[in-house]
């Protein structure tokens, strides 16, 4: 008996569903649910985590991220403009900077600023300043390339129209080109914000006091205290509380840009 | 029009004066020695096949293209002088582009006010008053809140004309203002331009609209291969062309059947819209 192509595809799909169902059932029967629940969702531990995991840890994660993002965005814009400058040395500086900071781990920058600078120059930077610089210096390298692409994506006719109205090059950039470029790069910049949110966990390297704990560090500390994976799960979920809406925002912005073109 | 026109000899100063203009892009010489002028209040249409250098000539007048050689003087100011403040000169020259080039992130009204405020330093109230007057002039008073994407091509081009007018320029450059428009939208834009001409605006228009050139232009300039082949009144150039190249071009543009044949040589835009 011959089987048509379509029938064969249906049979294969059925087998795949079957395998999945069997795997789930076997796992549900074999797993020790009590121990899993105690490890990942121990209600007593959850209660002990709140409210500090929100009022201290989540707040600090957001604070560190915004410090790094703000500084990185400003520096990234400057670098993007230098990268597009008609003055060659500006371009060289920008390219060197971007290649360097894009190529090294953020972790290394944290170590350099947190320990290297205080040792070498005998000055201790404020914690928040160290975080801002470390996250921002690396973030700026990525954002500079994004912003540059955005500026170049604005049609040449826009600059020509602005210049033909008597605007200087700088005025045309500020009033006409950069506002349009930012609309174009808003989705990729939001992605960068999500990456920075996660990279902010690197502050643990600096050695934090209790009030400076952010989500990852708070979770690790609570893990030691309670001998439970629950704090890690909760910390992870709280990262998602920050990043999922941002991802949603990116999709919305992309849809809006697609409509406007 | 007070201090300037009463200054000694000012009446003799042409709005545009072009001498020995050359422009090369790399090895490609687009303008090969252009001499011509536009008097105050004159409407001059530049016609010619694609690639003849018409648009480049126009763009050299406000220095969107840097001439390779020669001199361009606008209302007595030499724009090719290395010491000239070109931003200051450009304020006095309105320009309308083939692709409209409205600012898509600004509403129609903001498109008209931004340069008034940022370049001329007018306050918001005055800039908006002038902007509204110019939107009315192009028949789009009801569209001041609309963004460019919400407007038809013809409406966008009229807003672009109003934007240039809001700077109260002494002369206007039009670079194929109707070439990107659907045929049924061309009329509105030409009507606005006709009105401007009647109001005495100095206009230099690169166009393929022969009927417009014939009806509105004081003078028609035919360009081919980077030089001016002939110029004169519309009756002379369009009605009774002296040169073979002019005749060939006009035949292609004015006769639909020939336009089909001449599409490759004469350029797509020239043959696309035929208007008697």
Per-residue pLDDT band for A2 (boundaries 50, 70, 90) equals confident
- Smallest Cβ distance to A166: which of B64, B103, B119? B119
Judging contacts by C-beta atoms under 8 Å, the chain A residues touching residue B169 are none
pLDDT at A1: 60
Residue B97 contacts residue B58 (beta carbons within 8 Å): no
Per-residue pLDDT band for B249 (boundaries 50, 70, 90) equals very high
* B98–chain A nearest CA distance, Å: 10
Q: What is the mean pLDDT of residues B68-82?
A: 92
Kindly tell me if the per-residue pLDDT of A258 is higher than 70.
Answer: no
pLDDT at B254: 81
Per-residue pLDDT band for A8 (boundaries 50, 70, 90) equals very high
Q: Could you report the per-residue pLDDT of A203-246, keeping only the tens digit for each?
A: 888 887 888 888 888 888 888 888 888 889 889 999 999 999 98
E strand map for chain B: 16-25, 28-38, 43-47, 69-74, 77-78, 93-96, 171-175, 202-206, 219-224, 227-232
**ipTM tops 0.90:** no
Whole-number Å distance between alpha carbons of A205 and A110: 7
Query: Nearest-CA residue of chain B relative to A160?
Result: B64
* B143–chain A nearest CA distance, Å: 18
**Contact: A179, B105; criterion CB under 8 Å:** yes
E strand map for A175-248: none
pLDDT at A259: 57
Query: Nearest-CA residue of chain A relative to B90?
Result: A166
Judging contacts by C-beta atoms under 8 Å, the chain A residues touching residue B64 are 160, 163-164
Q: Could you report the per-residue pLDDT of A138-193, keeping only the tens digit for each?
A: 999 999 999 999 999 999 999 999 999 999 999 999 999 999 998 889 889 988 99
Of B4-13, B47-56, B252-261, the one with minimum mean pLDDT is: B4-13
Helix (H, G, I), strand (E, B) or coil at A80: helix
Per-residue pLDDT band for B256 (boundaries 50, 70, 90) equals low
Higher pLDDT, B265 or A157: A157
Q: What is the mean pLDDT of residues B69-91?
A: 92
Q: What is the mean pLDDT of residues B244-252?
A: 91
Total CB pairs under 8 A between chain A and B: 61
Whole-number Å distance between alpha carbons of A70 and B164: 38
Report the C-alpha dihedral over residues B139, B141, B142, B143, rounded to 10 degrees.
Answer: 90
**Contact: A160, B97; criterion CB under 8 Å:** yes
User: Could you report how far apart the first and last alpha carbons of chain A are, in Å?
Assistant: 55
| B102: alpha, beta or left? (left if phi > 0; alpha if psi -120 to 50) | beta
Helix (H, G, I), strand (E, B) or coil at B56: helix
Find all residues with CB under 8 Å of B41, minimum gap 6, and list them. B15, B200, B201, B202
pLDDT at A208: 79
Q: What is the pTM of this model?
A: 0.80
**Contact: A165, B164; criterion CB under 8 Å:** yes
Q: What is the mean pLDDT of residues A39-51?
A: 81
E strand map for B77-212: 77-78, 93-96, 171-175, 202-206
Query: Nearest-CA residue of chain B relative to A156?
Result: B101
Q: What is the mean pLDDT of residues A82-110?
A: 94
E strand map for B144-206: 171-175, 202-206
Query: Nearest-CA residue of chain B relative to A174?
Result: B118
Q: What is the mean pLDDT of residues A68-72?
A: 96
Kindly tell me if the per-residue pLDDT of B170 is higher than 60.
Answer: yes
Per-residue pLDDT band for B12 (boundaries 50, 70, 90) equals low
How is residue B199 annotated by DSSP? T
Average pLDDT, chain B: 88
Residues 158-197 of A with CB under 8 A from B: 158, 160-168, 171, 175-176, 179-180, 183
pLDDT at B274: 40
Look up residue A222 and give its two tokens.
Answer: 């609570």
How far, in whole angstroms, is CA A116 from its chain's centroid? Answer: 25
* B210–chain A nearest CA distance, Å: 26
Higher pLDDT, B183 or A39: B183
Kindly tell me if the per-residue pLDDT of B10 is higher than 80.
Answer: no
Kindly tell me if the per-residue pLDDT of A254 is higher than 70.
Answer: yes
Judging contacts by C-beta atoms under 8 Å, the chain A residues touching residue B167 are 165-166
Judging contacts by C-beta atoms under 8 Å, the chain A residues touching residue B62 are 164
Kindly tell me if the per-residue pLDDT of B263 is higher than 60.
Answer: no
Judging contacts by C-beta atoms under 8 Å, the chain A residues touching residue B111 are none
Whole-number Å distance between alpha carbons of B253 and B231: 18
**Contact: A260, B103; criterion CB under 8 Å:** no
Kindly tell me if the per-residue pLDDT of B38 is higher than 60.
Answer: yes
Return the closest-CA partner of residue A44 out of A201, A195, A234.
Answer: A234
Q: How many CA atoms lie within 13 A of B272 on its CB side?
A: 14
**Contact: A163, B167; criterion CB under 8 Å:** no
- Smallest Cβ distance to B90: which of A166, A176, A180? A166
DSSP one-letter string for B204-263: EEE---HHHHHHH-SEEEEEETTEEEEEE-HIIIIIS--SHHHHHHHHHHH-HHHHHHHH
Kindly tell me if the per-residue pLDDT of B188 is higher than 70.
Answer: yes
Q: What is the mean pLDDT of residues A97-110?
A: 94
């Amino acid at each position: 008996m011959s089987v048509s192509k379509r029938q064969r595809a249906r049979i294969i799909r059925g087998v795949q569903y079957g395998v999945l169902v069997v795997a789930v059932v076997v796992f549900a029967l074999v797993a020790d649910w009590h121990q899993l629940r105690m490890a990942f969702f121990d209600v007593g531990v959850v209660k002990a985590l709140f409210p500090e995991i929100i009022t201290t840890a989540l707040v600090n994660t957001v604070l560190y991220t915004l410090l790094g993002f703000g500084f990185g965005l400003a520096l990234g814009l400057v670098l993007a403009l230098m990268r597009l400058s008609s003055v060659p040395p500006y371009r060289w500086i920008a390219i060197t900077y971007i290649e360097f900071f894009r190529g090294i781990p953020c972790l290394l920058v944290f170590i350099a600023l947190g320990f290297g600078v205080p040792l070498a120059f005998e000055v201790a930077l404020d914690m928040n300043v160290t975080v801002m610089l470390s996250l921002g210096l690396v973030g700026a390298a990525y954002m500079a390339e994004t912003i540059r692409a955005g500026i170049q994506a604005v049609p040449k006719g826009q600059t020509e129209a602005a210049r033909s109205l008597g605007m200087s090059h700088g005025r045309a950039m500020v009033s006409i080109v950069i506002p349009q470029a930012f609309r174009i790069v808003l989705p990729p910049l939001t992605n960068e914000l999500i990456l920075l949110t996660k990279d902010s966990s690197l502050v643990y390297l600096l050695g934090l006091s209790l009030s400076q704990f952010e989500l990852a560090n708070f979770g690790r500390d609570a893990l030691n205290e309670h001998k439970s994976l629950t704090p890690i799960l909760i910390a992870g979920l709280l990262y998602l509380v920050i990043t999922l809406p941002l991802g949603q925002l990116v999709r919305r912005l992309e849809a809006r840009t697609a409509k406007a073109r | 029009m007070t201090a300037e026109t009463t200054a000694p000899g000012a009446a003799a100063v042409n709005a545009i004066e072009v001498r020995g203009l050359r422009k090369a892009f790399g090895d490609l010489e687009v303008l090969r020695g252009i001499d011509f002028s536009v008097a105050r209040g004159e409407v001059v249409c530049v016609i010619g096949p694609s690639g003849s250098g018409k648009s480049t000539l126009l763009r050299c007048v406000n220095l969107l293209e840097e001439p390779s050689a020669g001199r361009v003087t606008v209302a007595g100011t030499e724009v090719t002088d290395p010491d000239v403040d070109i931003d200051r000169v450009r304020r006095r020259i309105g320009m309308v582009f083939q692709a409209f080039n409205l600012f898509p992130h600004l509403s129609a009204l903001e498109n008209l006010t931004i340069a008034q405020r940022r370049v001329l330093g007018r306050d918001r109230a005055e800039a908006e008053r002038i902007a509204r007057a110019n939107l009315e002039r192009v028949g789009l008073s009801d569209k001041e809140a609309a963004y460019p994407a919400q407007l038809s091509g013809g409406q966008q081009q009229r807003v672009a004309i109003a934007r240039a007018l809001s700077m109260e320029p002494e002369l206007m450059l039009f670079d194929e203002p109707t070439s990107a428009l659907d045929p049924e939208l061309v009329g509105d834009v030409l009507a606005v331009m006709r009105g401007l001409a009647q109001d005495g605006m100095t206009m230099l228009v690169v166009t393929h609209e022969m009927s417009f050139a014939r009806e509105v232009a004081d003078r028609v300039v035919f360009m081919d291969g980077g030089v001016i082949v002939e110029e004169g009144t519309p009756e002379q150039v369009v009605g009774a062309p002296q040169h073979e190249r002019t005749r060939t071009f006009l035949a292609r543009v004015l006769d639909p059947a020939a336009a089909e044949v001449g599409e490759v040589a004469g350029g797509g835009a020239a043959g696309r819209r035929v208007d008697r």
